[in-house]
Amino acid sequence: MKKIPMRMCVACRQMRPKTELLRIVRTEDGSAVADRTGKRNGRGAYLCPSRACFEKAVKSRALERALEIGIDPALRETLLQEIEHAEQTV
């Protein structure tokens, strides 16, 4: 039996299988994007694919600390759209 990799959501701090979480990656140019494959290069942070966890991560600045970048309103809106898309596919 193959071991399932577990990751922790930066907002709710629950351990879940890596495939159930959405990975947010800081790219080389300093922005953040959702990584659906989980293999993109860059510093990553994992979030539950829910708006509640995203809002909690932004409010507590957990996402900023994990990615080591500031989250401006435009970037927040882009990431929120990715979260909502991920919620619909689950």
What domains can be seen in the chain, in order of their start residue? 6-89 (3.30.1230.10)
Check whether 90 has a pLDDT greater than 70. no
* HEC per residue, 20-55: HCEEEEECCCCCEEEECCCCCCCEEEEECCCHHHHH
pLDDT tens digits along 12-44:
999 999 999 999 999 888 888 888 888 899 999
Query: Quick check: helix, strand or coil at residue 17?
Result: strand
Summarize the confidence of residues 70-76 as an average pLDDT. Answer: 85
Predicted pLDDT of residue 46: 95
Predicted pLDDT of residue 38: 83
